[in-house]
Structure 1
């Protein structure tokens, strides 16, 4: 990766105290009986040209975080600054003008493409919606985008069902690039693809980033792929980020017990090394985000938890090596 952590970089996206809570209703009169804290006080920055990986178990709030940043779901509280402008507080028209700068690549390339529209129409839709190009110029732009993602421009008149899963994801990437965005949320873009195709799509994302100067929030549960593509990695558990570090620092020496357990589950393609590794098996199930534990949310499964963990929520603090971690005992 060409991203240099030693040089100070412009912060493109800054998320501060972001929370997304969903009400729980029950009964005949639909009375609110609780709240699902899907995202609960998340804070991080993404520098221009960087890829920030966001990892964690299913249901921890990764995708909701990405959607909230783009205002696809409304945040309950917090600030989302993009190039200094607070997206969370924008009205409808200012937000519409901001949309071209931030786009999303969805997880399921089959569900995210309209089966009744041709590929050309799907890719041209953002151009039509925002009125940036018309007629022949729009058609040329569609052909350029298809070529940029490795597809034949002559495929513009075909329909999504005529393509494989990897090709459909390339179409989704082309659509995301149509308006020349600065920031793209990649919401598990390889999860629905065959293993043989995943590397091709990730390599394409890296090539496009290098060529176009893109900034990514790469959401995934595939820790091996995140290690390949990300510059920094944020680890999420039950609605909160519990560790944030550069890729090499996190994978070489994880500090939070949950990060250690996650990485211990990633196989190493060396039988001798794999045979000597210690795998951390977590006890119990992930608590409900509607009723999270007091104090540290990981304490009910943590192998080093003490009484302090139940009484006091760990502070989000910076360690000497520059990483951030939320654990009383991380040093």
Structure 2
């Protein structure tokens, strides 16, 4: 029987990220000299409460997926701390990291590419059990069937191969595999991007049901702002490797503070005709700068419709300008802020019992 992870429903901080950087070196010339870095993630900080879903949104190439992979140490972070359930994952030895793996899992974007085409469904789902337990085959098969029931797959399909399933069913297999070891934290890396629109809502509803039953904590990465609005408790908006705004979901969607978040949300379809009639679409000009050569000041200054002189020379800090609302923008001076955010300060707010 699937059980809720102990201690997760209390709502304390489970994931704390402080100053995370993920830079990829650039080598050029015959001698392969190091000539620069692609700053895919450049100083990201946030925290996620146990049982909470944090949505991470932004346009393609902003560093969303890199954040998710760095959190689980599928990439080795260049700098920063990633604390999951009290342990700094970024500093764990290979042996200790392997012991930590069951507590943190990932659901990948492309279910077809993330499943071994030569393995049956039962072998795919039981693979984590092979690696991390010494269970007998009968016990592993029972666990596989339990997980299949949990994600809505017929047990009779346990000997089928990935190509025999639809896209939505393959993603359910990926979710079942991620749940095999009772993880505390799951990174959902655009889990619905490769699915038909008619299937996307089913997968999101499944993730919500599993979260409610098992007390799971999600980092939900997506460029689908409408779906993030449905599943997330808070939303972080990324641009060019940095977080531009971090706010509770309803506050962000009703009144975005950062100019980039405002432009991004202006493109979301509004189902209410009255609200849609009053909405002004914000069209950004220019191209996104290269992460290998970002602007000297604010990363968004080259496209911002509200740019000021200071924006071109000074990078803004992610600052709390309203309760639980953090913005990296010079439109909000530090003098009116309640304080800057980091993993430690986010933890303090969570411990004070702030509810979303």
TM range (shorter): over 0.9
What are the equivalent positions in structure 2 for 1:237-256 lying under 5 Å apart? 237-256=239-258
Partner of 2:192: 190
Tell me by how many angstroms 1:91 deviates: 0.4
Deviations 1:64-103 (A, max 9, x none): 0000000000100000001111000000000000000000
Tell me by how many angstroms 1:269 deviates: 2.1
Tell me by how many angstroms 1:322 deviates: 2.3
What are the equivalent positions in structure 2 for 1:281-292 lying under 5 Å apart? 281-292=283-294
Partner of 1:87: 89
Q: Could you list the runs of 5+ residues in structure 2 that have no partner in the other structure?
A: 1-8, 337-356
The answer (yes or no) to whether the contact 1:149–1:173 under 8 Å persists in 2 is: yes
Partner of 2:77: 75
Q: Superposition RMSD on alpha carbons, in Å?
A: 1.2
Instruction: Give 4+ residue runs of structure 1 displaced > 4 Å after superposition.
Output: none
Tell me by how many angstroms 1:286 deviates: 0.6
Q: Look up the SS of the partner of 1:221 in the other structure.
A: coil
Q: Look up the SS of the partner of 2:56 in the other structure.
A: strand
The answer (yes or no) to whether the contact 1:128–1:134 under 8 Å persists in 2 is: no
What are the equivalent positions in structure 2 for 1:64-213 lying under 5 Å apart? 64-213=66-215
Whole-Å Cα distance in 1 between the matches of residues 196 and 237 of structure 2?
25
Tell me by how many angstroms 1:133 deviates: 2.3
Q: Look up the SS of the partner of 2:112 in the other structure.
A: coil
Deviations 1:159-208 (A, max 9, x none): 00000000000000000000000000000000000000000000000000
Tell me by how many angstroms 1:37 deviates: 0.2
Partner of 1:3: none
Whole-Å Cα distance in 1 between the matches of residues 275 and 66 of structure 2?
37
Whole-Å Cα distance in 2 between the matches of residues 160 and 135 of structure 1?
21
Please state if 1:30 is matched with 2:32: yes
- Which TM-score applies when normalising by structure 1? 0.96
Deviations 1:253-303 (A, max 9, x none): 110000000000001124453233200000101100000001100000000
Partner of 1:16: 18
Whole-Å Cα distance in 1 between the matches of residues 10 and 282 of structure 2?
36
Q: Could you list the runs of 5+ residues in structure 1 that have no partner in the other structure?
A: 1-6
Whole-Å Cα distance in 2 between the matches of residues 50 and 322 of structure 1?
15
Q: Look up the SS of the partner of 2:158 in the other structure.
A: helix
Whole-Å Cα distance in 1 between the matches of residues 214 and 176 of structure 2?
13
The answer (yes or no) to whether the contact 1:49–1:209 under 8 Å persists in 2 is: yes
Whole-Å Cα distance in 2 between the matches of residues 134 and 240 of structure 1?
46
Tell me by how many angstroms 1:134 deviates: 2.1
Return the match for 1:314 from 313, 316, 320: 316
Whole-Å Cα distance in 2 between the matches of residues 73 and 203 of structure 1?
29
Partner of 2:63: 61
Query: How many residue pairs were aligned?
Result: 325
Partner of 1:263: 265
The answer (yes or no) to whether the contact 2:189–2:221 under 8 Å persists in 1 is: yes
The answer (yes or no) to whether the contact 1:20–1:68 under 8 Å persists in 2 is: yes
- Which TM-score applies when normalising by structure 2? 0.89
Tell me by how many angstroms 1:8 deviates: 8.4
The answer (yes or no) to whether the contact 1:233–1:246 under 8 Å persists in 2 is: yes
Whole-Å Cα distance in 2 between the matches of residues 89 and 175 of structure 1?
26
The answer (yes or no) to whether the contact 2:10–2:50 under 8 Å persists in 1 is: no
Whole-Å Cα distance in 2 between the matches of residues 276 and 185 of structure 1?
36
Deviations 1:26-60 (A, max 9, x none): 12221111100000000000000000000001000
The answer (yes or no) to whether the contact 1:232–1:245 under 8 Å persists in 2 is: yes
